[in-house]
Amino acid sequence: MQFGYCLGLDFLQGDTELFNAVFDAGFDYVELPLSALYELQVSEIEELKKALKVIPCRACNLFFPRSISLVGPSMDVPEIRAYLAKMLPIAAELGAETLVFGNGGARKIPDDAARAGVWDNLRTLAELMEEYARQTGITIVVEPLNVTETNIINSYAEAVELTKGLTHVAAMVDSYHVAMEKQNYNDVLKSPERVLHLHTAFPIGRLVPALGDDMTQYAAFVHAVKQIGYNGKLSVEGALRGKATVMEEVSAALRVLRGLF
């Protein structure tokens, strides 16, 4: 199992404490926000490449910027194509192997749209992502989100259905969203081959795992991951608790993960 940590780009502006702690703690990779990379200048991309010589970026989340309409009457296919054509090669150049499509607000069913129409839009989007992912060798995973974040693709089964027949666009599991929806992992066990990335956090408050956590909160997730034989990337996506130093919290999170898996 490769353990990663979801970061913003603060370290490029000199706020390197969390970035350095992730490296010093022994995490295998960082997961960065793809849409934030969209705003960087060429010189900043070069600086990012230098920083990532310390610890690699093997995944990215926050796939699309809010400015691009993904579904509904305003879905902008030419702009989506232009974004994919620009950003997937950049992600590949940085070393990212997996890109996470969450974007709950952007994929939400608008008030003036029917669910069937939005589902068709999302399938068109998935096919576009497949086209560009195939060209770069990257895998894109659709993230099921809880209903407070979006009103479509709220389960692993929906993510699998959306990506059916695609080879470079699959699904992922985030234990926080599963817990929020009070779901089980039965659908994961039915289609284990579509799980190509994982996120986790302590579900109560979506916090970075800590040594004092109630470990039963992770039990169903860990059991399912082991049962399907998953051995890929798992990223921590949670808030620091502020009760210890950043280094102490990050190190403890990795110790928890290694103890669970």
**Model confidence over 66-83: pLDDT tens digits?**
899 999 988 999 999 999
Q: For residues 130 and 194, what is the distance between their CA atoms, to the nearest angstrom? A: 14
The CATH number of residue 236's host domain is 3.20.20.150
How sure is the predictor about 111, in pLDDT bands with cuts at 50, 70 and 90? confident
Domain total for the chain? 1
Domain with 151, as residue range(s), is 2-260
Each residue of 79-109: pLDDT tens digit?
Answer: 999 999 999 999 999 999 999 999 999 999 9
Among 68-72, 81-85, 166-170, 255-259, the minimum mean pLDDT is found in 68-72
CB 208 within 8 A of CB 216: no
Per-residue model confidence (pLDDT) at position 17: 98
- Determine the Cα angle at 32 with ends 27 and 37, to 5°: 150
Q: How confident is the model at residue 199 (pLDDT cuts 50, 70, 90)?
A: very high
Average pLDDT in the 26-36 region? 98
The strand ranges marked E within the chain are 2-6, 29-33, 57-61, 98-101, 139-142, 169-174, 195-200, 233-236
pLDDT score, position 222: 98
CA 238 to chain centre: 12
Q: 29 near 259, Cβ under 8 Å?
A: no
Report the candidate in 202, 198, 136, 133 with the shortest Cα–Cα distance to residue 171: 198
Dihedral sign from CA coordinates of 36, 41, 42, 45? negative
Category of 165 on φ-ψ map: left (φ > 0), alpha (ψ -120 to 50) or beta:
left
DSSP assignment of 152-184: S--SHHHHHHHTTT-SSEEEEEEHHHHHHTT--
Report the pLDDT averaged over residues 7-22. Answer: 97
Q: Which of 153, 146, 229, 142 is nearest to 192 (CA)?
A: 229
pLDDT at 113: 84
